[in-house]
């Protein structure tokens, strides 16, 4: 692709996106993101993103979950290629709880959804699955009860056996840990010491 062709695509994207990141709305350090698995750089297969979004799209290790709350707005974008990127990121983050709610609300044409699904994430066998002491799968937002007294690191608090912890969140890179509030304090809890309750 020549420099002129690239500039032409960038100009088209700038017009379409009103010179803003099509995901978070930032107007700083905008770049072209070519959406996989596209072979050629066209405005139909690329979006305009800021440096922050680009870095996290290209490296899962750098994802900051709260940054992506911006998808709450961009999920309503009617441009198919933008919808594809939004859907993929929400799917990647769905264990956080709130992205699943957005996915449930999102409307996409069938062919756009097929395109979004054309890149498979890691197979399910490699996905991190959180399970309680009985082997029940834990999801973000579940309620659990402690099955033993747990001293809380760095404080004199002991979370007592039988304490209910409501609306837990999952530690996304460790299947053995969840987070929740006990006596107003956010703590990390080992999944082997909890039982899921309805």
> What is the average per-residue pLDDT within 115-127?
66
pLDDT on residue 91: 94
pLDDT on residue 123: 46
pLDDT on residue 132: 96
> What is the pairing mode between strands 46-50 and 30-34?
antiparallel
Ramachandran quadrant class, 25 (left: phi over 0; alpha: psi -120 to 50; beta: rest): left
Per the structure block, which two tokens stand in for 40?
């050629």
- Reduced to 3 states (helix: H, G, I; strand: E, B; else coil), residue 47 is strand
Measuring CA to CA, how many Å separate 8 from each of 2, 31, 131?
A: 10, 13, 51
Residue 142's pLDDT band (boundaries 50, 70, 90)? Answer: very high
Question: Is residue 126's pLDDT more than 70?
Answer: no
Contact status, residue 141 vs residue 167, Cβ threshold 8 Å: yes
Contact status, residue 80 vs residue 109, Cβ threshold 8 Å: yes
Question: Is residue 125's pLDDT more than 60?
Answer: no
Q: Angle at CA 121, nearest 5°, toward 167 and 40?
A: 130
**Percent of the chain beyond pLDDT 90?**
72
Ranges in the chain annotated CATH 2.30.30.40: 128-197
Measuring CA to CA, how many Å separate 55 from each of 7, 19, 23?
A: 21, 19, 13
Does the domain at 128-197 match CATH 2.30.30.40? Answer given as: yes
Position of tokens 């297969």? 45
Question: Is residue 2's pLDDT more than 90?
Answer: no
pLDDT on residue 1: 65
In angstroms, rounded to a whole number, what is the distance separating the alpha carbons of residues 59 and 121?
13
- How crowded is residue 74: how many other Cβ atoms within 10 Å of its Cβ? 21
Question: Is residue 141's pLDDT more than 80?
Answer: yes
pLDDT tens-digit profile of 11-69? 999 999 999 999 999 999 999 999 988 888 899 999 999 999 999 999 988 999 999 99
């Amino acid at each position: 692709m020549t420099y002129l062709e690239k500039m032409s695509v960038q100009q088209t994207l700038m017009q379409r996106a009103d010179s803003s990141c099509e995901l978070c709305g930032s107007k700083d350090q905008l770049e072209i993101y070519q959406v996989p698995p596209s072979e050629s750089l066209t405005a139909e297969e690329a979006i305009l993103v800021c440096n922050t979004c680009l870095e996290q799209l290209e490296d899962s290790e750098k994802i900051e979950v709260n940054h992506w709350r911006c998808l709450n707005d961009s999920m309503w974008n009617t441009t198919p290629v933008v919808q594809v990127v939004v859907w993929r990121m929400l799917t990647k983050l769905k264990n956080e709880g709130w992205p699943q709610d957005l996915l449930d609300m999102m409307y996409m044409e069938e062919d756009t959804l097929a395109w979004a699904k054309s890149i498979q994430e890691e197979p399910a066998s490699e996905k991190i699955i959180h399970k309680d002491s009985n082997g029940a799968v834990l999801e973000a937002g579940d309620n659990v009860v402690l099955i033993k007294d747990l001293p809380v690191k760095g404080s004199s608090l002991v979370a007592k056996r039988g304490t209910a912890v409501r609306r837990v969140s999952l530690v996304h890179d460790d299947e053995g840990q969840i987070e929740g509030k006990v006596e107003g304090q956010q703590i990390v809890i080992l999944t082997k010491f909890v039982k899921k309750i309805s």
